Amino acid sequence: DGPEEVRVAAHAFNQMQMRIRSFVDDRLRMLAAIAHDLRGPITRVRLRVEQMAIDDETQRKIIANLDEMAQMVESSLAFARDEATTEASQPVDLAALLATICDDAVDAGHRAEFAFEGRLVFQGRPLALKRLFANLVDNAVRYGGRADVRASIDKQKLQVRVEDEGPGIPEREMENVFKPFFRIERSRNKRTGGIGLGLATARTIARAHGGDVIVAHRPEGGLQPTVALPR
């Protein structure tokens, strides 16, 4: 309703939004389709390599490369699924969720701690939020030796900080680390890191909930990613 000029402008913005959403959905479907179709050839090549009469060291290196390719494919599929999910929104107690994530990290032999009294109820997608915070805690224990998770809440927003004791990242890379498949350590070796989708996925999920993720260095050393979600 309202003046004709306002209605025309609103209609144009709605059309633009639909086109952008359609474009993004098409790109995600293409990514998912390519990743899905690559799984078959990778598996077949691996089977053929295992049957080839080559020396063990060469075979081991080829299979290791194929395993890295398979990991990238699976990560791409997971990223596309996260983007295109239709998971229903519901009240989530983030305090209980964060405590569970830290307990799981401790059970896996890592140092992780979350201390908060009370509940942190937020309206969101439970599985997506779990993936968001699990990625940040996993990064902290993998690269920073430990994860100290802190939460705060006020009338406008809810904040969760995940602090570590690692070397941090170069200032020039602060924004690049949120790009899909970007890694400061350039190899794809599982022992030195993942595929490079952890922070990209975390920011995507946070922004889908109206929030954001930023990274900063701690004065004492180490990295401090902060998730801000609107109340």
How far is Cα 57 from Cα 51, in angstroms, rounded to an integer?
Answer: 14
Higher pLDDT residue, 188 or 142?
Answer: 142
Q: Cα–Cα–Cα angle for 196, 148, 136, nearest 5°?
A: 20
Whole-angstrom CA distances from 98 to 4, 171, 216 are 50, 28, 20
Q: Give the percent of the chain with pLDDT over 70.
A: 90
Report pLDDT for 188: 44
Q: Which residues contact 22 (CB under 8 A, 6 or more apart)?
A: none
Higher pLDDT residue, 85 or 56?
Answer: 56
Higher pLDDT residue, 150 or 175?
Answer: 150
pLDDT in tens, 173-210: 888 888 777 766 654 444 445 566 788 888 988 998 99
How far is Cα 91 from Cα 210, in angstroms, rounded to an integer?
Answer: 15
Mean pLDDT of the region 226-231: 93
How far is Cα 133 from Cα 202, in angstroms, rounded to an integer?
Answer: 7
Report pLDDT for 34: 81
> Which of the residue ranges 43-47, 117-121, 148-152 would you say has the lowest mean pLDDT?
117-121
Report pLDDT for 189: 47
Full-model pTM: 0.68
- Read off φ and ψ for residue 113, nearest 5 degrees: -145, 135
How far is Cα 136 from Cα 155, in angstroms, rounded to an integer?
Answer: 25
The answer to whether residue 223 scores a pLDDT higher than 80 is: yes
**pLDDT-based confidence at residue 94 (cuts at 50, 70, 90):** very high
Q: Which residues contact 92 (CB under 8 A, 6 or more apart)?
A: 121, 122, 123, 124, 126, 129
Report pLDDT for 5: 93
SS (H, E, C) 195-224: CCCHHHHHHHHHHHCCCEEECCECCCCCEC
Q: Say which DSSP state 92 is in.
A: E
- Chain centroid to Cα 104, Å, comes to 18
